[in-house]
Amino acid sequence: VQSDTSPECMMAALLLRRDKKSTAAHLKSDLNRTDNSSGVRQLQELLDSVLNPEKPPADTEALDWCKCLIAGEEGFEEFCKTVRSYDNATLCGLVWTANFVAYRCRTCGISPCMSLCAECFNNGDHTGHDFNMFRSQAGGACDCGDSNVMRETGFCRRHRLRTGENVPSVPRDLLLMSEMVLPRFIICIIQYLRDGYTEPDTSAERDLQKVLQQLEPQITFLEELTKMGGAMRTVLTKILTNQQTFKDLSMGQEENVFAKKNYENYLSALKNSGLVSVEEKAQTGAAEPTRGSETGALGLLGAAAPSSSESNKEDQDGQSIGQRKRVKLSSSTKDPSIMDSLKHKCFLEELLFWTIKYEFPQKMVTFLLNMLPDQDYKITFTKTFVQHYAFIMKTLMKSQESDTMSNRIVHISVQLFSNEDLARHVTEECQLLDIMVTVLLYMMESCLIKSELQDEENSRHVVVNCSEALLKNNTYWPLVSDFINILSHQSVAKKFLEDHSLLMLWMSFVSFFQGMNLNKRELSEHVEFESQTYYAAFAAELEACAQPMWGLLTHCKVKETQEYTKTVVRYCLETLQIWFDAIGFVDELAPNQVTFHLPLHRYYAMFLSKAVKCQGLDLESLLPDQEMLMRIMVHPLQIQASLSEIHSNMWVRNGLQIKGQAMTYVQSHFCNSMIDPDIFLLQVCASRLDPDYFISSVFERFKVVDLLTMASVHQNTALDGEQERPMLEGALTFLVILSSLRIHLGMADDEILRAEMVSQLCMNDRTHSSLLDLIPENPNPKSGIVPGSCSFEEMLSAVADFKAPVFELGGSMQQGMYTPKAEVWEKEFDPIMVILRTVYRRDVQSAMDRYSAFLKQSGMHTTGNPWPPYKERTPLHPCYKGLDRLLHCKTLHIVIFTLLYKIWLDHSNMSEHVLCMVLYLIELGLDNQVEEDKGDEVRPSEHCHDSWFPGTNLLSNLHHVINYVRVRVPETAPEVKREREPPASTSAEASNFGQNVREAQVFSLVAERRRKFQEIINRSSTEASQAVRPKSSSTRWVPPGTPPQLVTEILEIHESMLSLLIKLHQKLSAKQNSLSATWLEDMDANPNRHAHGDGITAIERILTKAATRSHQSKRSIQEICGKVFPPVAPKKNSPTAKKTMDKEERRQRARERQQKLLAEFASRQKSFMETAMDVESPDTEAAMDLGASEVKESEVLYDCVICGQSGPSTEDRPTGLVVLLQASSVLGHRCKSDEAKKLPTTDEERIYPADTCGAAHDVRLALMQSFFKDSSCLQSVSIGWDGGVYVQTCGHTLHIDCHKSYMESLRNDQVMQGFSVDKGEFTCPLCRQFANSVLPCRPGRSTEVVSWHMPSNKKTSVLVKEVEDLQEQLGFFPVSTTTESNLSKEMELVIKDIKNTTQRKYMDYGKNPGSPDNDFLFMYSVARTNLELELVHRGGNLCSGGASGAAKRSCLNQLFHVLAMHMRLYSIDSAYNPWTRLTQVPCVVPYSCLDDERPDVPMLFRDCPSLLIIFVLTMPQPLRKEHFICLVRMLYNLQYTQALAALSAKFSPEERQAWSTSGTLKKCPFNTICALLLCFLSQLSSSVWSPQSIEYSLQQFCLPYLRLSCLLQHHLYGDNLSGCPEEEEFSGLAGCLGLLDPAPQPSNPMYSASCLDWTVSAFDLMSQWCSEVTGLADTQTLLVQDLQWASPHLLHLPDNYNTIFQYYHKKACTACKKVPKDPALCLVCGTFVCLKGLCCKQHGICECVWHSQHCGAATGIFLLINASVIIIIRGHRFCLWGSVYLDAHGEEDRDLRRGKPLFLCVERYRVLEQQWVSHTFDHINKRWGPHYNGL
């Protein structure tokens, strides 16, 4: 309250009281005057009192005032419209939040982040582009019109035309008021924000959400303003960026206490905004940062680096090291001012500041982003954002809701940094790169721990702690993603690469990840807690290290950028050196440790690779000295050895997670950032280091050195026995990979892509998307838009064939697959690449199995198991030629020799795989010769193994014969004994013995490696003239004390590699002298023979190669082959040795056997299915068609599938059929038209349900009930069109008591079965089909059957009488209820089951619920439903004849029997028995004279098929066929009369008159009757009829009755259904039923009439029937009924899924009026429902389930709009069916993740419809689950 009474104040008070609108108008005119000072003053005063920040913001009075003032005299809405008409924006800029559906086109995008709103996308032309739809996660904005982000060709029509540029300029006065009012409004909001803010650490209650909620209307208003288009945005930009306004309004108003207070609040909030807060700065001082405290970590931001004395001090202070370690960043000092606390100069800056403080409220974000189309704003805003960047990340780290906040941050930053110009601009002006790198460092610093790698005690290296929330929750990703985003711009990346201090800083950042997540092998006990930190570690290395690396590498592709690469390489090496020093690594690795994270190594490797491959740099100039190379080699090599250890189960005690790491390391998303660089780096090392040293290091690291002895027994200190073989295999495989892989050593990018693709396809057939996912991203981006890169699609079509999607019978939905072409298998299958890329070991086997299958199929190799083919390699890039020396070194040759020897002698732990790899190495050596290096020979020759081989060349060493070898063996070894007694040989040899001992060779790998290492060290140390070597503890190299029990023995060998190979050939082929002396000559003829084959082929190939390349070898081979060998050594057959050798082979055989068994089993199961469903089988025939004429004299026998016994079904021990009862509305959904209804996709289209069969019958029944007696009505119709019960069987039978105990056992079975035993559900014990009841079989002898069939010559009238008599017996049946047998009990039980199958409402059609009439109607309708459904399954008619597939599932005969038993409970009053009225002219009571009750239904309105079923079911069983025929005949009379009546009702009076006298009609024997009938009825119609059309429509009217009768006869009496052409169906059926002489009567076209057979005067009877209907209302409606229905269809779907999606994904539900979160669509009727929505839940049932009950009687088929998938609901269960929409590659896209265009797969949709119509969802689909009414 103010006491001021100045006139101005009065004026304001006056204005306030006036109506807002007129005030606004008044002020506006004042302001428009030339002298507007008074207007200005008045406005200011008004605003002073209106916009008072002391008022609570919830009071919207102020907001209303602002709106009015801005709008002036016209309303606000009107004003908005006007302003919008001046919108001059040329960009779309639409901002969206999470879950919005947007598009991305890679063809049009310049930035990979480009995105479009649906409207712009659909209005642009992207045909043939690589685009996809996606659901936004972090929110985004439309880039249409922004040529910085996307190509102009992709702009939509509107933004391409730049319509905005032609907009007239804005009239001055339109926005005048806005310019004046809005600054005040904004400062008011700011003041609220200032006032409401409290720091998180203050004790005061902090509720930022509440503050925001109160401000909601104000911020919404700001957002509304931004949507008014360019004109308003210009005004806002001016206000937001004007420094003067800010100055004036922000801190003035000293007199206002409130304003002052919140300004102070603002200042204090500001103080904490930098990375270094003001207090911290003051504390740390200028130059000397204090250490040890919290702020120590921030020292890197200060100017000074910690001095060395300080780090010494830290070393002593053990505790501080344990927790934190400050990083040395001496040269990294960047301008610290960038991290200073903030100073604001305009509204925008402060608004952003508060946006951050309030943790990015959605509305504020949208407001700030909506302004972006204004270019001036965009630039200022970007700068402001960068200015606050450090502060943003600091807030993020502290936030509780970091996920949401991350999304909002990226939502903003991606709009700013995707634009190269803008990004470069802020990089140059605002030091964006420095800020980002510094903040990254700052972030990671918060979670550093001391590295335990190598020297746990004294390590000075620090690594990130992967269990910290920052890493586990990936909190750093917004920052990293921004960083990667800006590095994608060449200009920015160059800035980065040119800035050396930044690079240094970056390298120290990368080193935080070097050696993180260290694994220590557990040796004694299983680890208690399996740490899952490895996810965080792998993600961090990939995202924070590798991704930026790939980003930088894309800019180092040409010669011009050589310098960048050199710099990076230099800093990598420097940082690596620092790392080695810090962890205290000299030369020996600490045992049992491994880390998978070596980002520094990998940076070095990848830049090296690029330098050689693309920039033409000389490798030599980038390599360090030998010693450094040796060190660099150690850790990557350790990873390779550990991989092998992990797969050899040496790490089992560390739990499953270690396997997870091994798998992730090679997995497709990681491999080219991890294993590939590692292998490459090792290849580089191998090519430069001494090969003997390298080879021995490998075997030592793999711990198999002890194994490499010629002795038969050895000791191994490092490995358990069972680990030796896998580790040896691992070492050899690694050597093969190392020396054959060319990924970075010479392969071109498209060769690599091809190899990757081939290896993935060889493992398994792949879908397009999974292949895309499995191919590593680098070096080839997956979409082929980058100019010059080869296309994924082109490559795919070159190597693979497409297999179209199919639906398998078992129910699994096949997708479109790619499979390798035959020539790919033949020429390109590369087992080495497969091994490198397999995550699961079984995939290697799978590839080999597929390869074998291909060879067998193509006849290339048919015997035994083929070996992996040897593939020739791409030539090495000259830089890496040194790698071949690996294959030409004595050490390797000694190993090869030893292994060949051991394999030949069947030593333990040798395997086929070992031999395979050994041969591979030999072959590689032969194919990659090195030029003899003269320098090599200069070497001093005192080495202990030099006597093994003369040189290093493999070719010459191959034929070199080794005579004696000195080995060290345990005293117990067999060699010892043998050697003790000198060899009993010729004296000449004996004399030589002494000499031999001297020349015998001994070989020790370990000693070898150490010697070599020392040699190199010494050489380099002399070179570097360094006196002191690092503490290379040479004392540790002394071999461990030799176990005393070892003795040295000398083995007599006399073999060369060649001779061993030839012996192995004999061994493998199990033939002496398998190679004749002349075989080499034969070989030359056909060199291709060797491409594929087994081990024998491989040896032959090697021998041939050796022979062709060296004469000496050739001679040697011929010589050896020419010798006659003694019989094969006996030890070969020693059982124990045999065991080891053949282990692999036996395993393979076992696998084959198992597969064969499985296949057999599968085919057996399949044949079950076939017997059950399709194929005629005597067993099931007997069970199903009891009445079949084939049945012999004997009683019918049933097999019980549970106990296996076979016997008759008896009253005491009944047998039953396994049946599935289900309610069905399929019949009710039939329509008149054969065309499926179209699914509506616009608001105009609609589906009308009235014309369905179900609806039509409901109407008819209701109409009849309104005129006639209810009980009579219920006898005159059928129900069950909707919700009828369908009974089907798999055809298997069981004893009912066996079934009961089976159910009991299921109940006790705790395993989840997917069905509910309590509801009686089970699966057939034999065929596993789903079932829920058992239908008892009628006991019976087939003699009865025969008697039924007796032909009879009785006259019709006699039969009619007999039938009548039989019906008289209705009351007293022979099998009465008094003697209740087990059988009759079971029959009643199944009746109960049938009733429980459907809902009450589908049974109670009568007016009195629960009356027996209802029950009666339901019972006979069950029979009708099953007959009608069978008709549908047969295609709607009986023309095809015979037994269809569907008929095999039917059990109508048994069902009829059960129903008949039940129907005995009812009796029909004989007075009302329709039989009488059907066959006699009543003489007693005139029909209409009954009491006041409603009349019976007239005969002409009754449904003949229903009457037939009623008669059959209510007469004594079994019914004789002659009586059945009699029934059919009598009812045909009625049906025909109904047809005539219906027809005549359609005639015009004139026509009727004409017809009654016409001559044409005279041909008909009953013309008079017809004529008479026509006269009875007088209705109007205008159609013209001919005799042909009359006969046609009469037949059509009667056909449904005939079909049903015929089908019934088929089931009851087993009569065959004979097929016929469709146009002869009538006569065919009439003949079949005996209504018509079988002889054709072509002369009489009116043969429908000749089927009539009357026992009384037809004229009298028909007159009687007609009289019943005369004078009744609605006669025509009831007479003229259409009995023909088209076969049922699901809705017709559009071809393109987008049509459905666009219409339905944002459509509101008609029930709850909201847009559902999970919309779904009923494919039967088109109803749109809220899946899972609580909004539409009623009585605890969600809408989808509810609809399934009402639309499909508990069966529902729904399309989930947002997932493109179909789900099936069946009762209480549901299953995911799959999708009927597939992409161009025949693949589903569940949940629309890929967002590629989807098209209707007609075949699949047909399958779905087929399953629906045939009621086989339960049988075909697997994986059902309960839905608990929650769908």
Q: Which residues bind Zn ion (CB under 5 A)?
A: 92, 94, 105, 107-108, 117, 120, 126, 129, 142, 144, 154, 156, 159, 1200, 1202-1203, 1290, 1292, 1295, 1298, 1324, 1326-1327, 1709, 1711-1712, 1722, 1724-1725, 1727, 1730, 1733, 1735-1736, 1743, 1751
Query: How far is residue 1767's CA from residue 768's CA, in Å, rounded to a whole number?
Result: 24
Choice between 1279 and 1722, CB closer to Zn ion: 1722
Smallest distance, Zn ion to C-beta of residue 433, A: 31
Query: How far is residue 858's CA from residue 835's CA, in Å, rounded to a whole number?
Result: 24
Q: Where are the alpha helices (DSSP H) in 399-451?
A: 402-417, 420-430, 432-445
E strands, 1683-1725, in order: 1719-1722
Choice between 1216 and 1280, CB closer to Zn ion: 1216
Smallest distance, Zn ion to C-beta of residue 117, A: 4
Choice between 95 and 1662, CB closer to Zn ion: 95
E strands, 904-1045, in order: 962-970
Smallest distance, Zn ion to C-beta of residue 863, A: 42
Q: Where are the alpha helices (DSSP H) in 1515-1642?
A: 1521-1546, 1549-1557, 1567-1576, 1587-1613, 1625-1632
Looking up tokens 């329709």, which residue turns up?
Answer: 1474
Provide the pairing of β-strand 1215-1224 with 519-520: unpaired
Choice between 1016 and 1446, CB closer to Zn ion: 1446
Smallest distance, Zn ion to C-beta of residue 1191, A: 21
Choice between 963 and 1382, CB closer to Zn ion: 1382
**Which tokens is 381 given?**
């805003």
**Which tokens is 326 given?**
């400050």
Query: How far is residue 1817's CA from residue 1389's CA, in Å, rounded to a whole number?
Result: 25
Smallest distance, Zn ion to C-beta of residue 154, A: 4
Choice between 117 and 824, CB closer to Zn ion: 117
Cross-strand partners of 1781:
1800
Smallest distance, Zn ion to C-beta of residue 1759, A: 11
Looking up tokens 């790919």, which residue turns up?
Answer: 824
Query: How far is residue 1529's CA from residue 1548's CA, in Å, rounded to a whole number?
Result: 31
Looking up tokens 């060649």, which residue turns up?
Answer: 1058
**Which tokens is 1187 given?**
């009445």
Smallest distance, Zn ion to C-beta of residue 1218, A: 5
Choice between 763 and 1220, CB closer to Zn ion: 1220
Q: What are phi and psi of 944, to 5 degrees?
A: -65, -25
Smallest distance, Zn ion to C-beta of residue 94, A: 5
Residue 1131: Cβ within 10 Å count? 14
Smallest distance, Zn ion to C-beta of residue 1334, A: 12
Smallest distance, Zn ion to C-beta of residue 1157, A: 23
Smallest distance, Zn ion to C-beta of residue 1736, A: 3
The residue count for the chain: 1831
Query: How far is residue 58's CA from residue 214's CA, in Å, rounded to a whole number?
Result: 5
Smallest distance, Zn ion to C-beta of residue 1299, A: 8
Query: How far is residue 1576's CA from residue 1666's CA, in Å, rounded to a whole number?
Result: 7
**Which tokens is 542 given?**
């990939």
Choice between 100 and 535, CB closer to Zn ion: 100
Q: Where are the alpha helices (DSSP H) in 252-332?
A: 257-271, 278-284, 308-316, 318-323
Query: How far is residue 1275's CA from residue 1510's CA, in Å, rounded to a whole number?
Result: 8
Query: How far is residue 554's CA from residue 824's CA, in Å, rounded to a whole number?
Result: 31
Residue 577, sorted as left (phi over 0), alpha (psi -120 to 50) or beta, turns out to be alpha
**Which tokens is 1254 given?**
């179900």
Choice between 429 and 1176, CB closer to Zn ion: 1176
User: Collapsing DSSP states into helix, strand and coil, what is residue 1208?
Assistant: coil
Choice between 1225 and 1271, CB closer to Zn ion: 1225
Choice between 142 and 921, CB closer to Zn ion: 142
Q: What are phi and psi of 6, to 5 degrees?
A: -65, 155
Choice between 302 and 1291, CB closer to Zn ion: 1291
Smallest distance, Zn ion to C-beta of residue 1750, A: 8
Choice between 156 and 753, CB closer to Zn ion: 156
Smallest distance, Zn ion to C-beta of residue 1393, A: 18
Choice between 1202 and 1700, CB closer to Zn ion: 1202
Choice between 945 and 1815, CB closer to Zn ion: 1815
Note whether 1824 and 1770 are within 8 A (CB). Answer: yes
Note whether 822 and 854 are within 8 A (CB). Answer: yes
Choice between 95 and 1508, CB closer to Zn ion: 95
Cross-strand partners of 1293:
1217
Smallest distance, Zn ion to C-beta of residue 414, A: 16
Smallest distance, Zn ion to C-beta of residue 1199, A: 9
Residue 1032: Cβ within 10 Å count? 16
Looking up tokens 């090519």, which residue turns up?
Answer: 687
Note whether 1208 and 1327 are within 8 A (CB). Answer: no
Smallest distance, Zn ion to C-beta of residue 1294, A: 6
Note whether 1723 and 1767 are within 8 A (CB). Answer: no
At CB < 8 A and 24+ separation, what contacts does 1320-1327 make? 1320/1393, 1324/1201, 1324/1218, 1324/1290, 1324/1292, 1325/1201, 1325/1202, 1325/1292, 1325/1294, 1326/1168, 1326/1201, 1326/1290, 1326/1292, 1327/1165, 1327/1168, 1327/1169, 1327/1172, 1327/1290, 1327/1292
User: Collapsing DSSP states into helix, strand and coil, what is residue 1441?
Assistant: coil
Distances (CA, A) of 1781 to 997, 1695, 1799: 79, 9, 5
Smallest distance, Zn ion to C-beta of residue 1687, A: 18
Choice between 924 and 1731, CB closer to Zn ion: 1731
CA-only gyration radius of the chain, Å: 46
Choice between 111 and 1609, CB closer to Zn ion: 111
User: Collapsing DSSP states into helix, strand and coil, what is residue 656?
Assistant: helix
